[in-house]
């Protein structure tokens, strides 16, 4: 059984120090490694100089950091394009940090040819000599930014930095590795019954933690120094031939522990739970990729207690590395989806409405659901406003949902019954875990069927309060709410998925009211969002007008003016 994060027997030695052989974008100071964006190999140059009276338009999409500059030296004469930033002939004219949005940069050369003017700051300009040839250059510092030339007749030169890929006839560029040179590792391995405690802290920017931080974790039985050439390449952690933990939440922060158990199981414990992976290794090196993160190795732990992890003969045979796309993980995700839907039938009684769910349901969809989606959507808004149930004509009864869930459950049960070999082979303990979950779901579905009426789970007064307030003001809210800042805050606190955040953000640009409808529906359904928390989200996103409507006694004009 994995230890809690608080249980530790620190061992004071150098086992907590990071290796100095790390990526160039990581600063190592003993037991602390800190991300620092310094190099990226992300330099591109437009293939021809911009003449007087001409204008060049660039568009940026995605998230990351980029700089636009002008160069008065012919790029063909520069041996290493990555050394451009050290040249006196380079002038940075625009710097942009872009987060989930589209931006543009318009660079214009004056009629006389002596000034370079950007749309971002028309009141100032960069002066060049009249006869100078001027090339526009972009340095993508980090992120998944896509840069595109929108002015016809211009392309990016094939002479680029080492981390650039060009597409669309060389008019489009981005980084091969969005977070390059950011891999680090602890210099000494941990052995069986040993663990390392780490503290993860997002780097502050303007006094606040960045929303775009992330961390990736991998392990290696051999010393990573033999795999990395961090001073010469721009690779990220995915390019290393090591064991990756793709299931680990990249937005994790605070304290984590990495432990190698007595039977060779790697256990990573965080505030999100514990992740296990069988390796049968006697020792492992801990490897990380940082993005806007400071990582501190707090202590090394040695478990001196007698082992309670004696492996059974089955465990000894089954000790393999389970890939993230194995049959076990696929089946587990499907069972989680089925159980969620089964419990939703219980919670929402006869008016359970899969069409209102924000996520996709894996498996077959009943004909009744397909045929009635449009009818359900037409009545869903009315039901939310008036708090009335759907009419029987359009209602999806629990029996239909139960039948569909039973079919999905049967599919999973048949799949795991076929004990495949090779990479899809699952251990006996994993097989038993899935079988137990299937029995639990069958019990839930059986209770729904036998009672004739699904068991009702009463909401707390706080949940009723947020639902009542939103229903009462539904019509005005779909017109007033600014969805984008709310989506960012909800995603940062794990209340919505990344797909929902992206999808509704794009929908808001073209169909504002429909995006707000979907957002309100999600908030009403989420049990983790109560009225106080929703109020804090509105306040943090500076939507005072909405607050005044929902809480007039607290945010009305008279109160605000007092």
Note whether 126 and 115 are within 8 A (CB): yes
Residue among 183, 206, 200, 215 at smallest CA distance from 97? 206
**Angle 79-83-88 (CA atoms, 0-180°, nearest 5)?**
105
For the chain, state the CA radius of gyration: 28
Q: Is 448 helix (H, G, I), strand (E, B) or coil?
A: helix
pLDDT of residue 155: 95
Would residue 72 count as lying in a domain?
A: yes
**113 in the same domain as 65:** yes
Residue among 74, 71, 86, 76 at smallest CA distance from 38? 86
236/90 Cα distance (integer angstroms): 28
| Continuous segment of H or E residues that includes residue 469 | helix 461-472
207 by Cβ neighbours in 10 Å (0-12 / 13-18 / 19+) ranks as exposed
How many CA atoms does the CB half-sphere of 330 hold within 13 Å? 15
Tokens of 108: 């214009």
Note whether 176 and 150 are within 8 A (CB): no
pLDDT of residue 306: 54
406/399 Cα distance (integer angstroms): 10
275/245 Cα distance (integer angstroms): 9
Would residue 319 count as lying in a domain?
A: no
179/163 Cα distance (integer angstroms): 10
**264 in the same domain as 384:** no
Would residue 317 count as lying in a domain?
A: no
Tell me which residues of the chain have a pLDDT lower than 70: 1-14, 99-101, 120-124, 206, 229-232, 304-330, 333, 340-341, 343-402, 404, 417-427, 429, 447-465, 525-528, 556-562
pLDDT of residue 188: 92
Residue 347: Cβ within 10 Å count: 16
**157 in the same domain as 269:** no
Matching residue, tokens 């414990």: 269
If DSSP states are collapsed to H, E and C, what string results for 318-330?
A: HCCCCCCCCHHHH
Note whether 155 and 171 are within 8 A (CB): yes
**162 in the same domain as 138:** yes
Tell which of 419, 451, 483 closes a domain: 451
Burial 407-422 (b: 16+ CB within 10 A, else e): ebbeebbeebeeeeee
Note whether 486 and 379 are within 8 A (CB): no
Would residue 258 count as lying in a domain?
A: yes
How many CA atoms does the CB half-sphere of 90 hold within 13 Å? 19
**502 in the same domain as 385:** no
Paired with 360 in beta bridges are none
pLDDT of residue 441: 80
Residue among 137, 221, 143 at smallest CA distance from 182? 143
Would residue 5 count as lying in a domain?
A: no
Note whether 193 and 284 are within 8 A (CB): no
What are the C-alpha distances in Å from 72 to residues 78, 132, 275?
Answer: 12, 6, 54
What are the C-alpha distances in Å from 78 to residues 70, 83, 96, 136, 171?
Answer: 15, 8, 26, 15, 21
Tell which of 406, 423, 451 closes a domain: 451
> In the chain, count of helices (H) and strands (E)?
14, 24
343/323 Cα distance (integer angstroms): 29
| DSSP class of 85 | G
Would residue 256 count as lying in a domain?
A: yes
Paired with 34 in beta bridges are 27, 294
**27 in the same domain as 115:** no
Q: Is the dihedral of CA 120, 125, 126, 131 positive or negative?
A: positive
CATH of residue 225's domain is 2.60.120.920
- Domain tally, the chain: 4
**188 in the same domain as 219:** yes
CATH of residue 153's domain is 2.60.120
CATH of residue 526's domain is 1.10.533
Would residue 494 count as lying in a domain?
A: yes
Residue length of the chain: 562
**137 in the same domain as 48:** yes
**186 in the same domain as 302:** yes
Tell which of 158, 174, 190 closes a domain: 174
**48 in the same domain as 32:** no
If DSSP states are collapsed to H, E and C, what string results for 471-523?
A: HHCHHHHHHHCCHHHHHHHHHHCCCCCHHHHHHHHHHHHHCHHHHHHHHHHHH
Max Cα distance, the chain (Å)? 88
Angle subtended by helix axes 461-472 and 512-525, to nearest 10: 160
Tokens of 150: 């929108």
Q: Is the dihedral of CA 390, 392, 395, 397 positive or negative?
A: positive
Q: Is 358 helix (H, G, I), strand (E, B) or coil?
A: coil
Note whether 147 and 167 are within 8 A (CB): no
Burial 262-301 (b: 16+ CB within 10 A, else e): ebbbbbbbbeeeebebbbebebbbbbbbbbbbbbbbebbb
Angle subtended by helix axes 512-525 and 498-510, to nearest 10: 150
**188 in the same domain as 164:** no
Paired with 287 in beta bridges are 185, 218
Would residue 320 count as lying in a domain?
A: no
**331 in the same domain as 415:** yes
Domain that holds residue 164: 43-174
284 backbone dihedrals φ, ψ, rounded to 5°:
-145, 150
């Amino acid at each position: 059984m994995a230890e809690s994060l608080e249980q530790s027997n620190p061992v004071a030695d150098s086992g907590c120090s990071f290796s100095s052989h790390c990526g160039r974008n990581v600063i190592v100071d003993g037991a602390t490694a800190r991300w620092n964006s310094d190099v990226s190999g992300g330099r591109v140059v437009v293939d021809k100089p911009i003449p007087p009276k001409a204008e060049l338009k660039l568009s940026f999409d995605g998230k990351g950091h980029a700089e636009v500059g002008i160069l008065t030296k012919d790029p063909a004469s520069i041996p290493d394009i990555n050394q451009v930033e050290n040249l006196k002939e380079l002038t940075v004219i625009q710097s942009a940090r872009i987060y989930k949005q589209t931006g543009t940069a318009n660079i214009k050369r004056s009629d006389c040819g002596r000034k370079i003017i950007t749309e971002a700051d028309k009141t100032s300009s960069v002066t060049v000599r009249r006869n100078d040839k001027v090339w526009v250059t972009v340095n993508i510092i980090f992120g998944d930014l896509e840069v595109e030339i929108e002015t016809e007749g211009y392309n990016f030169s094939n002479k680029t930095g080492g981390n650039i890929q060009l597409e669309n006839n060389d008019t489009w560029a981005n980084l091969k590795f969005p977070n390059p040179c950011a891999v680090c590792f602890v210099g000494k391995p941990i052995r069986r019954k040993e663990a390392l405690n780490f503290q993860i802290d997002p780097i502050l920017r303007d006094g606040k933690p960045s929303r775009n931080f992330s961390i990736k974790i991998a392990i290696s039985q051999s010393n990573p120094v033999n795999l990395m050439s961090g001073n010469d390449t721009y690779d990220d952690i995915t390019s290393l031939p090591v064991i990756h933990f793709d299931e680990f939440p990249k937005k994790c922060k605070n304290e984590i522990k990495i432990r190698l158990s007595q039977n060779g199981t790697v256990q990573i414990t965080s505030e999100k739970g514990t992740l296990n992976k069988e390796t049968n290794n006697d020792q492992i090196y801990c490897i990380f990729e940082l993005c806007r993160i400071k990582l501190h190795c707090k202590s090394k732990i040695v478990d001196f207690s007698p082992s309670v992890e004696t492996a059974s003969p089955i465990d000894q045979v089954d000790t393999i590395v389970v890939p993230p796309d194995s049959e076990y993980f696929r089946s587990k995700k499907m069972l989680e989806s089925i159980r969620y839907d089964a419990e939703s039938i219980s919670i929402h009684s006869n008016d359970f409405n899969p069409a209102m769910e924000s996520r996709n349901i894996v498996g077959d969809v009943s004909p009744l659901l397909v045929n009635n989606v449009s009818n359900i959507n037409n009545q869903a808004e009315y039901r939310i406003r008036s708090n009335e149930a759907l009419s029987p004509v359009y209602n999806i009864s629990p029996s239909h949902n139960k039948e569909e869930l039973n079919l999905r459950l049967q599919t999973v049960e048949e799949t795991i019954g076929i004990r495949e070999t090779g990479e899809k082979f699952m251990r006996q303990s994993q097989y038993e875990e899935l079988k137990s979950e299937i029995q639990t779901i069958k019990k839930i579905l059986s209770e729904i069927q036998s009672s004739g009426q699904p068991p009702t789970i009463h909401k707390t007064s706080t949940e009723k309060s947020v639902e009542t307030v939103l229903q009462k003001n539904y019509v005005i809210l779909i017109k007033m709410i600014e969805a984008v800042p709310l989506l960012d805050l909800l995603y940062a606190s794990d209340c919505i998925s990344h797909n929902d955040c992206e999808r509704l953000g794009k929908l808001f640009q073209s169909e504002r009211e429909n995006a707000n409808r979907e957002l309100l529906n999600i908030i009403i359904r989420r049990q983790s969002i109560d009225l106080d928390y929703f109020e804090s989200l509105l306040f943090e996103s500076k939507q005072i007008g909405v607050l005044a409507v929902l809480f007039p006694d607290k945010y009305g004009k008279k109160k605000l003016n007092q």
